[in-house]
Amino acid sequence: MSLNKELLNILACPKCKGDIELVGREEGLKCAECSVVYPIKEEIPIMLIDEAVPLADWEKGVRERK
């Protein structure tokens, strides 16, 4: 099942309030401004600043914040 497109249109980065975009196979939501990815777990976006994975780590395959 995919994420609801209406939900994606209203979600914003909790840190900068900027736009986010879906990455991978619906694995995360990326904020280009903050260079972080908010993971999606069991089809639920985890939009918590403390759970965001730095984009550089995400690109290396890290899917959870250390």
The pTM of this model reads 0.90
Q: Is residue 65 part of a domain?
A: no
Q: What mean pLDDT value characterizes the chain?
A: 92
Tokens of 55: 């984009």
Enclosing domain of residue 9: 5-59
Query: Can you tell me which residue has the tokens 């840190």?
Result: 15
* CATH number, position 42: 2.20.25.10
* Measured CA angle at 38 (ends 47, 55), to 5 deg: 150
The tens digit of pLDDT for each residue in 29-57 reads: 999 999 999 999 988 899 999 999 999 99
| Whole-number pLDDT of residue 1 | 54
Based on the structure, what is the number of domains in the chain? 1
Please state which of the ranges 1-5, 16-20, 35-39, 44-48 shows the lowest mean pLDDT: 1-5
